[in-house]
Amino acid sequence: MSVRGTLRALPTLLRVGVSEAVAYRAEMLVWVLGTTMPFISMALWTAVARYEPVGRYDSHEFVRYFLATFVVRQMTGAYAAWQINFEVRQGTLAMRLLRPISPLWSYAAENLGTFPLRLFLVVPLTLFSVSTLGTRSVPGTAWGWGFFLLALVGGWLITFLVNVFVGSLSLYIESSNRIMDLWFAFFLVCSGYLYPVELFPPVLRGLLDWLPFRYQIGLPVELMTNAHGFTEALGLLGRQWLWVALLLGLSILSWKRGLKRFAAYGG
Amino acid sequence: MFRRYMRLLRVRLRASSLLAMQYQADFLLDGLISVFWMASALVPLFVVFQNAQRQIEGWSFGESLLVIGWFTLLQGILEGAINPSLQGVVEHIRKGTLDFVLLKPADAQFLVSTENFLPWRALNLVAALIIFGYGFHLIGRAPSLPGVAISLVLLGTSVLLLYSLWILTVCAAFYVVKVDNLTYLFSSIFDAARWPASVFRGVLAFVFTFVIPLSVMTTFPAEALLGRLPWTALVWAILGSLLFAFFSRRMWLHSIGRYTSASS
């Protein structure tokens, strides 16, 4: 399908995604409740910092950080890998392939469709953070906002593209869910989701700058809480989008080559 | 009666082991992943205690390791023995095949609870023992014998609590049909149990003590090993877990009574 055709179909796809999210709202609520880990981290770290600050983080700073983490996690979530795995195994991927538009677009639209619902949680929480902890809970400058939004988009793209890449591996092996679990474990440890990346020992911190995980959660959170100056933020954003480009190439390649092997068994 | 159920359990354990061996690549990968998960569970602890002198709410590094050890052990039981079977129930409910289970001449709760095991998770037991050993090495003394005995009793109550909570979650599956992610919700909440309970304050402290008694599951046994668990806490843990078990059993019977096959 042509580029113009794809662009014309996108709004409809997104609308379908939103309706689907609304239809399964109970399920979504369970998913959201399952991402309460930032609050547990918050309880833990404020307890650690109660008597003396850790690095530049005192109790307040930790609360701010983990509220931002929750917000960013909501806005950068994707679950396409599980969808792809399921549909490859059930053979229902064939249905998607019959449509004149790449399934990748419809996965993206479905994953993005949950956004409006998530905003109902994200916006009040952000407002709460600003009202109790001050305006430093959101970017303070115009470029700060621009960078933050860019980092959110980048973070989502990395998450989604990794999902597509790992999901497409299920076209080569029976199921790639376990690989996704492995990725997820790395993600938890390295992304800044459980604790700010800064708190890592210095040796590892340099390594984290070059791995994709930090750019899924850590960078948007840091930009939301004004942790970096202009040049530093620009450098980190550059690395994030380098990962986006790399993963875009990798995931599309493996998806296209994998599809040639797809035989719709089980269907 | 009891012997019959024991034999049934043995048969099912063997079946799961054979099933697990059948997909060898998965089997190996499963093992690797459990090792990796256990290692990753330790990372936050090292980050917290980078400054070795630090204590959180009166817990030193070595003492917190004991909590993590219990967490690892219970996680192994949860993911190896409880999760896989009960995920099966959810599947049964959705596909309508629960009818076949209900028709069998044995207790339905027993049947669904023993349907599938992941033998690899037994590795968690080894890991837990290593963590205990290292923890006590850091503390600089060995656990007292009564401490060990009490913590073993508490292991029983913890498993009972965990299992009852799971049964309650599954009962929810009878009312809300699409619940594959309840597993996910449950394990992400269980994650809080890896920290000493005194970390949590206010609402969280209340929830984790009375509603979802996570602190009872891992902090109590760790305190018992350290020999500083008050007797009243032990009594409460036993009474509480029995109460939870009774309640979850009633809920299960109630839900099964209400169950109308999905296919009809």
Question: Does the pLDDT at position A267 exceed 80?
Answer: no
Nearest to B191 among A37, A178, A181 (CB): A37
Cα dihedral A36, A37, A43, A48 in deg (nearest 10): -170
pLDDT band at B102, cuts 50/70/90?
confident
Cα nearest neighbour of B183 on chain A: A34
pLDDT in tens, A31-61: 788 888 888 888 888 888 887 788 888 888 9
For residue B261, the model assigns a pLDDT of: 65
Is any Cβ of chain B less than 8 angstroms from the Cβ of A232?
no
Cα nearest neighbour of A25 on chain B: B178
Cα dist from B202 to A35, A64, B103, B197, B207, whole Å: 20, 18, 47, 12, 9
Nearest to A34 among B48, B184, B192 (CB): B184
For residue B174, the model assigns a pLDDT of: 76
Query: A77 to chain B, minimum CA–CA distance in Å?
Result: 15
Lowest mean per-residue pLDDT among A106-110, A161-165, B8-12, B67-71: B8-12
Query: A24 to chain B, minimum CA–CA distance in Å?
Result: 9
For residue A151, the model assigns a pLDDT of: 95
What amino acid occupies position B244? Answer: F
Question: Does the pLDDT at position B29 exceed 80?
Answer: no
Query: CB distance A27–B181 less than 8 Å?
Result: yes
Query: B63 to chain A, minimum CA–CA distance in Å?
Result: 15
Residues B135 and B62: their CA atoms lie apart, in Å, by 4
Mean pLDDT of chain B: 83
Cβ neighbors of A168 (< 8 A, separation 6 or more) are: A84, A251, A254, A255, A258
Residue B49: alpha-carbon gap to chain centroid: 26
pLDDT in tens, B134-162: 989 988 888 888 889 999 999 999 999 98
Task: Cite the DSSP H helix spans in B143-201.
Answer: 145-175, 180-190
Is any Cβ of chain B less than 8 angstroms from the Cβ of A204?
no
Mutate to test the interface with A, among B26, B43, B68, B218 (most CBs of A within 10 A): B43
Mean pLDDT of chain A: 88
pLDDT in tens, A82-99: 999 988 888 888 888 888
Question: Does the pLDDT at position B250 exceed 70?
Answer: yes
Residues of B in Cβ contact (< 8 Å) with A174: 23
Question: Does the pLDDT at position A204 exceed 90?
Answer: no
Query: CB distance A31–B184 less than 8 Å?
Result: yes
Is any Cβ of chain B less than 8 angstroms from the Cβ of A79?
no
pLDDT (mean) for B178-196: 77
Cα nearest neighbour of B188 on chain A: A34
Integer Rg of chain A from CA: 19
Question: Does the pLDDT at position B264 exceed 50?
Answer: no
Query: What ipTM was reported for this prediction?
Result: 0.75
Query: CB distance A37–B181 less than 8 Å?
Result: no
Mutate to test the interface with A, among B188, B211, B219 (most CBs of A within 10 A): B188
Residues B214 and A9: their CA atoms lie apart, in Å, by 48
Torsions phi, psi of B70, nearest 5? Answer: -65, -35
Question: Does the pLDDT at position B207 exceed 60?
Answer: yes
Query: CB distance B195–A31 less than 8 Å?
Result: no
pLDDT (mean) for B246-254: 91
Nearest to A36 among B50, B181, B189 (CB): B189
Residues of A in Cβ contact (< 8 Å) with B192: 40
Is any Cβ of chain A less than 8 angstroms from the Cβ of B263?
no
Give percent of chain A above pLDDT 70. 98
pLDDT in tens, B158-172: 999 988 988 888 887
pLDDT band at A163, cuts 50/70/90?
very high
**Are residues B143 and B227 in contact, defined by beta-carbon separation less than 8 angstroms?**
yes
Q: What residue ranges do the domains of chain A occupy?
A: 3-19+77-113+135-261
Q: Residue A164: how many CB atoms within 10 A of its CB?
A: 25
